[in-house]
Amino acid sequence: MLEGLITLPWWGYIIAALILTHITIAAVTIYLHRHQAHRALDLHPIVSHFFRFWLWLTTGMVTKEWAAIHRKHHAKVETPDDPHSPQQFGIRKVMWQGAELYRKESKNLETMEKYGHGTPDDWIERNLYSRHSAKGIGLMFAINVALFGPIGITIWATQMIWIPIFAAGIINGVGHYWGYRNYEVSDASTNIVPWGILIGGEELHNNHHTFGSSAKFSSKWWEFDIGWMYINIMKALGLARVKKIPPALTCDTAKEHMDIETVKAVITARFLVMSQFAREVMQNVHREELKKADRSDRDSWALLKRARRLMVREAALLDETSHRWLNDALENNGTLRTVYMMKQKLQDIWQRSASTQEHLLRALQEWCREAEATGIQALQDFSQKLRTYTLVPVTA
């Protein structure tokens, strides 16, 4: 029986395959995604070129193409121009034909020209990585067979299907279809699971779409982003420099009046503000209203119970039936209607992109006065908290 240069027990070959595929995942999330597409961090040239070389060997993907397609995805998310939205193409097509959607978009010269700027354009990129993108895969095949013998073919095949299934299929598909959401952004992005290990942290897709230029994908204390862990290790070794991470809010209890710093904090961290509003106001008020409701009226009770999720959900993502359920629930409960109205008014403030900071300050002050005048305790408490918001100095 033919053997390779390396002989391992059966479980050793499994570990070898997992290590090799995990390096590819790390290259995609750290180099292609966070470094190239979003410029969230700088990498040492040695690290950057290693990842570029490794991706040439294991995927054949061209940096410019990947970055351009992903940037277009963010710019046109969930619209007919989104290269791979399951909301447009259907979950099955994105799950099982995601790589084909990628290859189709990579031939779109307009996409490459508009979104592919700033990616590598040196001699080796032009003459090898981009020009002969498929030859790296063939070289990887020869290396695997030489190292592991015939079992190397299986390891190579595993490497070849890993990114099309997990990145192109699961992240682009499931990551916009099923999971939980920390933040109600206007797209359908979700966190698939809270522990980003198997796909390098990309599982935390809703967090990423909320803070697109952040090098860190985890948001809650119980979430884990292994890609961020690797970045911190490289940072400690002087091999990476983080440029941006999500904003953090705190309350300055010494502040007596809302000021421009409050405006900056609320606008910069608006998704954090709305997440806290949903938890501290909408959910608490809904819980109290549910306690007071008449359970003997099963239809009204079921409608009121369902309203909790619908009130928090981004309005643009609700289908016609959900809109009708929400409107019916709000019609039957004045307190919930008031809370929902105040949520919409708060969101409207930071959509005034042309407003000056002084105008935004007056709008926030008016919102606080109106919230406190409702007589709803949760709204009053949140208003007082809003007045003291300030940004935490973030050390990346």
State residue 353's pLDDT score: 62
State residue 371's pLDDT score: 96
- In this structure, are 212 and 318 located in the same domain? no
Distances (CA, A) of 138 to 52, 236, 253: 16, 35, 62
206 within domain boundaries: yes
Distances (CA, A) of 56 to 24, 61, 114, 138, 201: 10, 6, 23, 10, 22
- In this structure, are 22 and 83 located in the same domain? yes
Q: How many domains are there within the chain?
A: 2
- In this structure, are 229 and 276 located in the same domain? no
Task: Give residue 66's domain range.
Answer: 10-242
- In this structure, are 208 and 72 located in the same domain? yes
Average confidence (pLDDT) over 42-64:
97
Q: Which domain-ending residue is among 242, 269, 292? A: 242
pLDDT for 2 beyond 80: no
Average confidence (pLDDT) over 217-241:
97
3-state DSSP call for residue 83?
coil
Q: What is the pTM of this model?
A: 0.93
- In this structure, are 237 and 256 located in the same domain? no
Of all residues in the chain, what percent carry a pLDDT higher than 90?
84
5 within domain boundaries: no
Distances (CA, A) of 152 to 21, 24, 109, 136, 198: 13, 17, 37, 16, 22
- In this structure, are 43 and 182 located in the same domain? yes
- In this structure, are 193 and 259 located in the same domain? no
The per-residue pLDDT for range 327-363, each reduced to its tens digit, is: 999 999 999 999 999 999 999 998 876 678 899 999 9
Residue 220 has a CB neighbour count (10 Å cut-off) of 12
State residue 88's pLDDT score: 93
pLDDT for 73 beyond 70: yes
Range in 67-71, 255-259, 269-273, 315-319 with the lowest mean pLDDT: 255-259
